[in-house]
């Protein structure tokens, strides 16, 4: 009797476990987006490294997120802004999640 109850409850346990893992992946993608935006803005704000924002941001991101379409874009000026867009991979078939986007702004070190 206990085996039948367990077999009936097993799909619910599996669904809860997949949801917990999916939440962890979404959190990881958010951390990666934040790290990539920070690294890109930090590099772009330094005059000696201007123009290397995208490469620095993507280097700060996990390779499997970059291969799935993670990108870093930058804007130049007195305040440098780097925006990282990271896709959230889905474990649950049929469900898709939008990408996570994080932006970081830092002052440029240009000396007038």
pLDDT tens-digit profile, the chain (112 residues): 777 777 778 888 898 998 899 999 999 999 999 999 999 999 999 988 988 999 999 999 999 899 999 999 999 888 999 999 999 988 877 788 889 999 999 998 875 5
The three-class DSSP label of residue 98 is coil
Residue 8 has what pLDDT? 79
In a domain, 112, yes or no: no
Residue 112 has what pLDDT? 58
Q: At what angle do helices 2-44 and 53-60 cross, to 10 degrees?
A: 150
Full-model pTM: 0.83
Structural domain boundaries enclosing 46: 3-107
For residue 111, give Cα distances in angstroms to 67, 78, 108. Answer: 37, 10, 9
Residue 57 has what pLDDT? 94
Please tell me the total count of domains within the chain: 1
In a domain, 61, yes or no: yes
Residue 30 has what pLDDT? 95
In a domain, 95, yes or no: yes
The three-class DSSP label of residue 71 is strand
Residue 83 has what pLDDT? 97
Q: Which residue reads 């790290």 in tokens?
A: 35
In a domain, 42, yes or no: yes
- Secondary structure E strands in 21-99: 71-75, 79-86
Residue 84 has what pLDDT? 97
């Amino acid at each position: 009797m206990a085996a039948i109850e367990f077999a009936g409850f097993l799909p619910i346990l599996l669904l809860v476990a997949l949801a917990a893992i999916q939440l962890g992946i979404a959190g990881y993608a958010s951390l990666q987006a934040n790290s990539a935006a920070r690294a890109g803005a930090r590099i772009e704000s330094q005059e000696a490294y201007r123009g290397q924002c995208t490469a620095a941001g993507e280097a700060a991101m996990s390779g499997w997120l970059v291969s799935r379409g993670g990108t870093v874009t930058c804007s130049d000026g007195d305040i440098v802004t780097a925006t990282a867009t990271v896709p959230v991979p889905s474990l649950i078939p049929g469900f898709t999640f939008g990408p996570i986007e994080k932006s970081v702004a830092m002052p440029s070190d240009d000396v007038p």
